[in-house]
A and B are shown apart, each in its own frame.
Chain A
Amino acid sequence: MINGDFLYLDYAATAPISNIIMRSYYEAVEIFGNPAAFYKKGEEAYQVIQKSKQNILKNLNHNEDWNIMFTSGATESINSIFYSFNPDLIITTDLEHHAVKEAVKHTSANWIQINLFNVITDTPNYLSKDKDYNRILISIIGVNNETGLIIPSEKIQDIKKYVQNIYPNAVIIIHIDFTQGFCKIPYDMTNIDCYSFSAHKIGFFKGFGGLIYKKSTVESYLINNPLIKGGHQQNGLRSGTENPTFIYLLDKLIEEHMNNLLSNYQKAQILKSAFYQILPDIIKKYNTIDLLFTSKNTEDYSPYIINFSVLGIEGESLVSAIGNKIGISTGSACSEEDLSGSEVIKNYYKQYGTSSENQDLYANSAVRISFDTTLTINQIIDIFQPEFENAIKTLARASIYKKEN
Chain B
Amino acid sequence: MSCNGQCDTCNVDHSVESANRGHGISYSPLAIQYAQNTTYLNRDENFNQILVENNTDIFYGEFGSFACGDIVNLWVKLDKDLDTILDAKFLSTGCYGSLSSSSYGCEQIIGKKLFEIDSKQLTQDIMENLELPQIKKHCSIFIGQCLEQIKEKIKKSSEKAEK
Contact = CB atoms under 8 A, between A and B. Distances in A.
Interface of A: 286-288, 312-314, 316-317, 320-321, 333, 336-341, 356-357, 360-361, 364, 394, 396-401
Contacts of A340: 2-4, 14, 69
Given A333-B23, A398-B38, A398-B43, 9 more contacts: A288-B47, A314-B94, A316-B69, A317-B99, A321-B36, A340-B69, A341-B3, A398-B93, A399-B92
Contacts of B67: 357, 360-361, 364
Closest 6 pairs between A and B when the two form their complex, measured CB to CB: A340-B3, A360-B67, A320-B96, A316-B95, A364-B69, A400-B91
Contacts of A316: 25, 69, 95-96
A336 B24 contact: yes
Interface residues on B, range: 35 or more
Contacts of A337: 18, 21, 23
A293 B71 CA distance: 23
30 contacts: A286-B47, A314-B69, A314-B70, A314-B94, A316-B25, A316-B95, A316-B96, A317-B95, A317-B96, A320-B32, A320-B35, A321-B35, A321-B36, A333-B23, A337-B18, A339-B3, A339-B68, A339-B135, A341-B3, A357-B67, A360-B66, A360-B67, A361-B67, A364-B67, A394-B36, A396-B47, A397-B38, A398-B91, A398-B92, A400-B71
Contact of A398 (B14, B18, B41): B41
Nearest to B90: A398
Q: Which of A286, A313, A397, A400 has the largest number of chain B CB atoms within 10 A?
A: A400
A316 B98 CA distance: 11
A356 B65 CA distance: 13
A337 B38 CA distance: 29
A303 B12 CA distance: 39
Interface string B134-158: 0100100000000000000000000
A381 to B, nearest CB: 24
B28 to A, nearest CB: 12
A42 B9 CA distance: 63
B73 interface: yes
Contacts of B91: 398-400
Contacts of B41: 397-398
B43 A400 contact: no
A360 B14 contact: no
Contacts of A286: 47
Contacts of B47: 286-288, 396-397
A361 B67 CA distance: 6
A321 B94 CA distance: 12
B14 to A, nearest CB: 5
B14 A357 contact: no
A339 B135 CA distance: 9
Contacts of A320: 25, 27, 32, 35, 95-96
Contacts of A394: 36, 38
Q: Which of A317, A361, A396 has the largest number of chain B CB atoms within 10 A?
A: A317
B96 A313 contact: no
Interface string B1-42: 011100100000010001001011101000010011010010
Contacts of B38: 394, 397-398
